[in-house]
Amino acid sequence: MTPLRLRMIDAMVLRGFAARTQETYLIAVGQMARYHHCSPELSSD
């Protein structure tokens, strides 16, 4: 698991996001990265 993904999961857990919300957000970030052909860390969207 990448450091960015771990940070994102940690932040969502800290804020009390439901498991399904976490899963949905991670999927959305992955889809955005694939669409833009770059890492989410490099995206300015």
DSSP 17: -
- pLDDT, tens digit, 9 for 90 and up, residues 1-45: 899 999 999 999 999 999 999 999 999 999 999 999 998 888 775
Q: What is the pLDDT of residue 33?
A: 92
Backbone angles phi and psi of 28, in degrees to 5: -60, -40
pTM of the model: 0.83
> What residue ranges in 1-45 does DSSP mark as E strands?
none
Q: What is the pLDDT of residue 29?
A: 95
Q: What is the pLDDT of residue 43?
A: 77
| CA–CA separation, 15 and 17 (whole Å) | 6
| CA–CA separation, 14 and 8 (whole Å) | 10
Q: What is the pLDDT of residue 45?
A: 55
Q: What is the pLDDT of residue 42?
A: 85
